[in-house]
Chain A
Amino acid sequence: MMSKQYEMVIGLEVHVELATKTKIFCSCSTAFGGAPNTHTCPVCTGMPGSLPVLNKQVVEYAMAVGLATNCEITRCNKFDRKNYFYPDNPQNYQISQLYLPICRNGSVEIQTENGTKSIGIHEIHMEEDAGKLIHDEWGDCSLVDFNRSGVPLIEIVSEPDMRSAEEVIAYLDKLRMTIQYLGASDCKLQEGSMRADVNISVREAGTTKLGTRTEMKNLNSFRAIARAIENEKNRQIDLIESGEKVIQETRRWDDTKEYSYAMRSKEDAQDYRYFPEPDLVPVVINDEWIAEVKSRQPELREAKLARYKEEYGLPDYDADIITGSKRMADIFEAATAICGKPKKVSNWLMVETMRLLKEHAMEPEDITFSPKNLAKLVELADAGTINSTVAKEVFEKIFDEDIDPDEYVQENGLKTVNDEGELRTVIGQVVKDNPQSVEDYHNGKEKAIGFLVGQTMKAMKGKANPAMVNQILKELL
């Protein structure tokens, strides 16, 4: 049994791939996919004599993230070389920023069950991503693909302000949301466009001295992060309790086996010999430039949330869920602008969209349907042109294939039948065919009417106007 109480001290290093079209130092595409090494050039494969030229958009995205996280923008930026040998690093140095990072001293507010808390941001710097190493199944070798080499990254280094996995997740969620809203990255953990390295130490509750920390890598989902933190906490406490020492080291999390192991090599001195990158000139940022970037800053989540409640009268719950993803919010606004029915649009997003996302194990960012088609669907349903059952069916089509609902309803003859004569004929037949149910109804079994409605709908292939069916049935009975 644990006798003492411990608390965790956690700081994060979050790498975010920026949504630029080209790499940070060359004009190669950053597009995902493509055969190995097809998005490479002499610069991003470290060919001798090649030289880097900085992508201006990288600076602006980094500034935008810094401004949105309350950072000070460094007026004179320089790049430094971080020297280490590894095959995914074609020059065997990474161009990064050590001495003069672009943003410093920021903070973001997070909400957890324990209320609001401010997490400090130590710095944000710009750097280049490495290539990909694939281990060859057949030979005793690894294969290097430089398509990702030189993709721009920002690294956001927090202060060691977090005390629980819950706070870590809240912090990451906050960063993700902010950066997505800025359009600076899609921040997908699974695909690696957002990656978090977690620095963890434990100490006895109530003490102020920091314990020895470890750095945890290879965390590919919020769940993995939460599990790895719990696991590492227990590992460190066990060490301390048994009188052993925590060693400062980098560990790699294996989420399938739910354990971590030390990444150690005698061949790595961890001495990066940083020095100013002579091939790049300083980036000087003045007030005008900052103001310009600020003026282009899109509405962030908090502002949007407030506006949705105010402008569209959305309930708190709806506004919270819809603004929980930039993609959702964009669809909501665009669809509402077309059909002018915010609450109806919201309902489609909150209920059916969320259900289908879950069913397909997708993120809101993966949504591909157009707001225009959702708006049309809202109109169709609202006008009673289709009934709600049909509407759900049509929505699934929209979700999967982004079909035009007007055309789809037309082509498949899904319009609700409002023709009283036709309904009377069909219902008359249903009543005739189901004497037992009719009798049950007359004997006071109210439920029997439901069965008859169902039979009618079936006969009408779901297209009958439900209100009219009810009314006519009662009449005929």
Chain B
Amino acid sequence: MSLTSLTAVELAKKIKAKEVTVPEATKAALDAIEKREEKINSFVTVDREGALKRAEEVQKLINDKTLTGALAGVPVAIKDNMCTNGMLTTCSSKILNNFVPTYTAQAVENLEAAGAVILGKTNMDEFAMGSTTETSAFGVTRNPWNTEHVPGGSSGGSCAAVAAEECYYALGSDTGGSIRQPSAFCGVTGIKPTYGTVSRYGLIAYGSSLDQIGPVAKDVTDCAAILEVISSYDKKDSTSLKRDDTDFTSALVDDVKGMRIGIPRDYFGDGLDGEVKEAVFAAAKVLEEKGAVLEEFDLSLVEYAIPAYYVIASAEASSNLARFDGVKYGYRTGACEGLHDMYKKTRSEGFGAEVKRRIMLGSFVLSSGYYDAYYLKALRTKALIKQAFGKAFEKYDVILGPAAPTTAPRLGESLLDPIKMYLGDIYTISVNLAGLPGISLPCGIDGKGLPIGMQLIGDCFKEKNIIRAAYAFECTREYRHCSMTEE
């Protein structure tokens, strides 16, 4: 077994025990990247030199006991929508193809303070808009389990990099399922925390009221440890929350006795793949056998989450992405006649089709005469969806369901029919609308050999419930490495 097969927490222990050095671990990851990137393309930027230099520094800090945390010395990959001081940050878009931030996202700073070594920046759907990592301006990322399939998205690069063992863990961001769905497709574990738990400072916004940064890793233990490090109250983010319950690793307990688990019937209806359904039910049974109390219930409003989401996210995106205009940073068109022509050409040449589609939709739903009918209607729907979850969490500690209706689709299939692609987010999107935490973890493999993921949803601030349930389930099975990592 190679070094890169270790989980982040396992590696940190070995580093601490002086069985492995940080430069060794870093080099192992960089070698894996070199070996597999041609097939996977999960990175936009690999900072080989910077990572090796940093590895030496971190090793020293570990040696002199300055760094002692659970992740000290572990190399990480960062989704390319998080700003990194001095390192190219593109959002996988041509319009930011030369942007080098002068500041670092708070979540990444927290990791660095804990002794992380940044390997590079991972590919994503352009501006996190997409569910396949096919809308990147820097080429598609492929699923390490089967390179004919997509890794999911938008954090497809981060999830593929973890699955292909090109890094020990990664950060992703989740606006409508962008951590949980690709985690499911790539057979890894990812958490979308309660809105406000991880600072959004330095995260290039897509839908500001929905965006959250979260961990992607091989197992629940890693995810809890990473989340514990990246969570912080940040005065630079007004929506950041003061929490004193972010000791998430304390929830890594193999005990679900008496835990009330709700299974929404509406998550198991039409459109759900049979094999996925079977695997998720089987996982629920495992938890039941361990003492959890299962109950089916009607969550309601599930079919309204996607239209509400697309109104809100597109509207916010149309405004958030207005700043990309060729004046202050990023791409600017060549020849143009006057200011407005410069704006239009820069943006039309700089943004890809899916981003333009959402900017157009967002501008339209906010435009004069439509605001009430679309935008306010969507905000009211959001309120109802939050209420529905609130009601459910009066009865259950955790809601269990699939992370996505199918396993990873083949490359090129999804973008042909956008609405069908949007429907793929049906189980994850409402969690963002309600600001709740959700975890996605592997629970089986389908007939095509692709991973199946299940999702556990908790009430707001109840990450520990879903971590405990996920950990208890995980304890019953072995982590499945994809075959590529054994080559």
Contacts and interface: CB of A to CB of B under 8 A. Distances in A.
Are A and B in direct contact (Cβ within 8 Å)? yes
Nearest to B324: A48
Contacts of B235: 53
A275 interface: yes
Nearest to B362: A273
A271 B201 CA distance: 29
B368 interface: yes
A83 B316 CA distance: 11
Interface size class of A (residues with CB under 8 A): 20 to 34
B315 A91 contact: no
Contacts of B203: 49
A46 B238 contact: no
Contacts of A52: 238
A85 to B, nearest CB: 6
Nearest to B202: A49
A279 interface: yes
A93 B319 contact: yes
B322 A83 contact: yes
Nearest to A84: B322
Nearest to B96: A48
A462 interface: no
Contact of A271 (B316, B343, B368): B368
A87 interface: yes
Nearest to B207: A278
Contacts of B339: 87
Nearest to A268: B340
B392 interface: no
A367 interface: no
B363 A278 contact: no
Given A53-B238, A85-B322, A278 B208 contact: yes
Given A93-B322, A275-B315, A47 B238 contact: no
Nearest to B376: A275
A279 B239 contact: yes
A51 B236 contact: yes
A50 B103 CA distance: 9
Interface string A312-347: 000000000000000000000000000000000000
A85 B325 contact: yes
The number of chain B residues touching the other chain, given as a range, is: 35 or more
A477 interface: no
B159 interface: no
Contacts of A50: 103, 201-202
A49 B201 contact: yes
Contacts of B91: 48
Interface in B80-95: 82-83, 89, 91
B409 interface: no
Nearest to B83: A49
Contacts of B105: 49
Contacts of B204: 48-49
Interface string B63-89: 000000000000000000011000001
B366 A42 contact: no
A50 B235 CA distance: 12
Given A50-B201, A83-B366, A280-B238, A90 B323 contact: yes
Contacts of B323: 46, 48, 90-92
Interface in A56-102: 81, 83, 85, 87, 90-93
Nearest to A281: B238
A144 B327 contact: yes
B367 A278 contact: no
B422 interface: no
A87 B200 CA distance: 26
A51 B322 contact: no
Contact of B238 (A51, A92, A274): A51
A77 to B, nearest CB: 13
Contacts of B318: 83, 273
Given A42-B102, A49-B203, A273 B366 contact: yes
In the complex, which of the residues A81, A85, A87, A273 has the most CB atoms of chain B within 10 Å of its own CB atom? A273
Interface in A181-239: none
B304 interface: no
B393 interface: no
A81 B363 CA distance: 13
Contacts of B371: 273-275
Nearest to B91: A48
Interface centre among A42, A47, A278 (most CB of B within 10 A): A278
A85 B204 CA distance: 19
Given A275-B366, A281-B239, A48 B99 contact: yes
A87 B327 contact: yes
B333 interface: no
B311 to A, nearest CB: 11
Given A83-B366, A278-B208, A280-B238, A51 B101 contact: no
A426 interface: no
Interface in A258-303: 265, 267, 271, 273-275, 278-281
A350 to B, nearest CB: 50
Contacts of B209: 278
A49 B316 CA distance: 14
A54 B235 CA distance: 11
Contacts of A279: 205, 208, 238-239
A81 B321 CA distance: 13
For A47, A81, A91, the residue with the greatest tally of chain B CB atoms inside 10 Å of its CB is A47
In the A-B complex, the 3 residue pairs with the smallest Cβ-Cβ separation, listed nearest first, are: A92-B322, A273-B366, A278-B209
18 contacts: A42-B101, A48-B89, A48-B101, A48-B205, A49-B200, A51-B237, A53-B236, A83-B322, A83-B366, A87-B327, A144-B327, A267-B340, A273-B366, A274-B371, A275-B315, A278-B208, A278-B239, A281-B239
Given A90-B328, A91-B322, A273-B363, 14 more contacts: A42-B102, A49-B103, A49-B204, A51-B200, A51-B238, A83-B322, A83-B366, A92-B322, A144-B327, A273-B319, A273-B366, A274-B371, A275-B315, A281-B238
